[in-house]
Structure 1
């Protein structure tokens, strides 16, 4: 069952099918996203002081007497990470408003319908839907946030789907065709995201985004940093299953990961071309520690392999299982990742990550009351 790139589906059908399976793995089991998102928490913690400073320096809206300040986290996932973000935003806004009458706060957690909202220990409201579309009324939000989400694109580019190559991402694209197609899809999706938020955010409201990117000097056909590294490990698992005649080669050739790691210059260009937001600040944050098991010890190889496999299951189990069509084959797939990680552990320890971080301010009158 090919969900990500079936040639029998229209682009709209393919995109809708992807929306239904792309969520991180739910529940609270050993391989759930809740129990395998420490890397993402490290990103949140690294960005916390930047987020707080961005709020203090760039708040440009006022409240009327019935002031309600509305916050939305786009691509929230599940578990404590999004709660840490929401708490950070509310506290920073409270500090910025300390000399005024304190408004009431409304917080919205948004993600695809396949997301498991049940394991948020509290929520003000859960909003299901793709953040590449409108989700809120016009001029209803004051502060928006998106972390580790926007590098996931809405679909694998059609031209890439037609290549049927044993590559699940941009790597080894010597002609640059695949990389250009992914960039075009990211451009389309990110522009749609900005356009939707521009209609939903009040004039002078802000949006803080961070996404996995790459150094400006990295060519499109090269590794794409951590994203390319992870893609290579998925290719190894497919290759082993194909060589063992457990999975047909066509299953490998028809699977691609729907994500793209842009450079700062690419993100900046799209924001300026879309035109709805002023760039408060934008930077690449490098050297963020990524892996909680960087310092492995002799004798822990098997445990390390299981740990890595659970991390990958949390991210990819849903789309892998739909693509392979069976729970048994999915288990075999992640078993190969565990075995290889236990023997080639140095390849599976990404010591740092590059993030593109930006504070964007909605263009318009800065002193309106809402």
Structure 2
């Protein structure tokens, strides 16, 4: 799969069906809620630095001057979580400006994803979202304008110096493409596994460093001086063990499920690799510091379980695990099916993910189903002397 094909097919399942992103995005929602304090801190810090000397009190001016804040949500997908993020950001802006008696800025929100994303699903709610803002915050807040910006974030998306805040959650573990060098050396595996030679790990890490540096360079050019960015990524505990179960087991289970089927040609199995990489804190920090245009304010890790179901207390553990496996298999289907359907055949997807669910059920009864997350808060500007980050 070449880079252009990869970019076109790295998107979530659209619509509102059983295997859609909208129906299987509670893990992503949970992570957004966990990282909310970091997002709010970044917004308030940005506002205090950029507008501390320029805000004009509404009480002292009949025609107070309006400023404009531009916000970008990168990888908005097609579900409700992008709206949740933007709502939290607007709440922070409202608290900072309106409650303090200063003029609230006009706000421009860009929702970005790849052209293959189901933008209609998210934009059909924009009208009700803006009406809700007027109801809860009043006519003096905003106004808030919403626009779509299709395109890959591994390239420029916005004019120089136009963004004040950038947010992206659960996107940057996806690469621009699977490493070219592994096509003939990672046969039968969809990702890094315990038996993988060191060259596989090296190739994935190199692709991540290349892509992430491009991402940082582009966002730094687009951010205003002092602008803030918060990123949340699926990661791994340490680069010392890039094949740990917490980051590799699910792709390995999906690979095993594909081998269970006799309907997939061996050549096709051997030529597919997922274009993603689970980063360690050390690897992320290295690329940010070596690129040099952004300062790390916070870099934290936390655990989340893939199982976001809420089983009843009177059910036995086996029943709970089966429910968890069903839910988790749907999660991984909505994020991986577009890629697999393009590489193999769409008509075998139900059978493939049925096998995957069986593998998941076995795994869930024996192993923990939690994983590592990284959240990084950054500012565009020079690194502070003697920084501990």
TM-score range, shorter chain: 0.7 to 0.9
How many angstroms apart in 1 are the aligned matches of 2:341 and 2:233? 26
SS at match of 1:32: coil
The TM-score with structure 1 as length reference comes to 0.86
Deviates more, 1:339-348 or 1:142-151: 339-348
1:44 to 32, 41, 44: 32
Deviations 1:1-23 (A, max 9, x none): xxx3xxxxxxxxx1111111111
Q: Say whether residues 1:276 and 2:293 are aligned partners.
A: yes
2:11 to 14, 23, 28: 23
Over the aligned positions, Cα root-mean-square deviation in angstroms equals: 2.2
How many angstroms apart in 1 are the aligned matches of 2:239 and 2:342? 36
Q: Are the counterparts in 2 of residues 305 and 337 from structure 1 also a CA contact under 8 Å?
A: no
How many angstroms apart in 1 are the aligned matches of 2:184 and 2:66? 54
2:126 to 122, 127, 144: 122
How many angstroms apart in 1 are the aligned matches of 2:235 and 2:214? 19
Q: Say whether residues 1:157 and 2:179 are aligned partners.
A: yes
Distance 1:217 1:139, change over 3 A: closer
Q: How many residues align?
A: 344
Q: Are the counterparts in 1 of residues 232 and 375 from structure 2 also a CA contact under 8 Å?
A: yes
Q: Greater Rg, structure 1 or structure 2?
A: 2
Q: Are the counterparts in 2 of residues 301 and 343 from structure 1 also a CA contact under 8 Å?
A: no
Distance 1:168 1:174, change over 3 A: closer
Residue 169 of structure 1 corresponds to 191
Q: Aligned ranges for residues 57-136 of structure 1 at < 5 Å?
A: 57-59=45-47, 60-62=49-51, 65-98=65-98, 99=100, 100-120=102-122, 121-122=125-126, 124-136=146-158
Residue 8 of structure 1 corresponds to none
Deviation for aligned residue 1:217: 5.7
SS at match of 1:61: helix
Deviation for aligned residue 1:304: 5.0
Residue 141 of structure 1 corresponds to 163
Deviates more, 1:48-57 or 1:26-35: 48-57
Q: Say whether residues 1:315 and 2:335 are aligned partners.
A: yes
Give ranges in structure 2 of 5+ residues lacking alignment. Answer: 56-64, 128-145, 383-389
Deviations 1:121-160 (A, max 9, x none): 2271111000011111111111000111001000011111
Residue 308 of structure 2 corresponds to 292
Q: Say whether residues 1:338 and 2:360 are aligned partners.
A: no
How many angstroms apart in 1 are the aligned matches of 2:331 and 2:196? 30
Deviation for aligned residue 1:119: 1.7
Residue 239 of structure 1 corresponds to 259
How many angstroms apart in 2 are the aligned matches of 1:312 and 1:149? 14
SS at match of 1:328: helix
Give ranges in structure 1 of 5+ residues lacking alignment. Answer: 5-13, 365-370
Q: Are the counterparts in 1 of residues 272 and 343 from structure 2 also a CA contact under 8 Å?
A: yes
Deviations 1:15-64 (A, max 9, x none): 11111111100011110011011111111111112222233345421368
2:282 to 240, 252, 265: 265
Deviation for aligned residue 1:290: 3.2
How many angstroms apart in 1 are the aligned matches of 2:179 and 2:366? 28
How many angstroms apart in 2 are the aligned matches of 1:299 and 1:215? 30
Q: Are the counterparts in 1 of residues 186 and 196 from structure 2 also a CA contact under 8 Å?
A: no
2:381 to 355, 360, 363: 363
How many angstroms apart in 1 are the aligned matches of 2:295 and 2:323? 47
SS at match of 1:16: helix
How many angstroms apart in 2 are the aligned matches of 1:78 and 1:251? 29
Deviations 1:182-234 (A, max 9, x none): 111111111111111111111111001111111126423x22x5430211111
How many angstroms apart in 2 are the aligned matches of 1:190 and 1:353? 21
Q: Are the counterparts in 2 of residues 18 and 154 from structure 1 also a CA contact under 8 Å?
A: yes
Q: Are the counterparts in 2 of residues 341 and 348 from structure 1 also a CA contact under 8 Å?
A: no
Deviation for aligned residue 1:167: 1.2
Deviations 1:92-123 (A, max 9, x none): 12323344321011111101111111221227
How many angstroms apart in 2 are the aligned matches of 1:290 and 1:309? 10
Structure with higher RCO (Cα < 8 A, 6+ apart) = 1
Deviation for aligned residue 1:280: 1.6
How many angstroms apart in 2 are the aligned matches of 1:303 and 1:354? 22
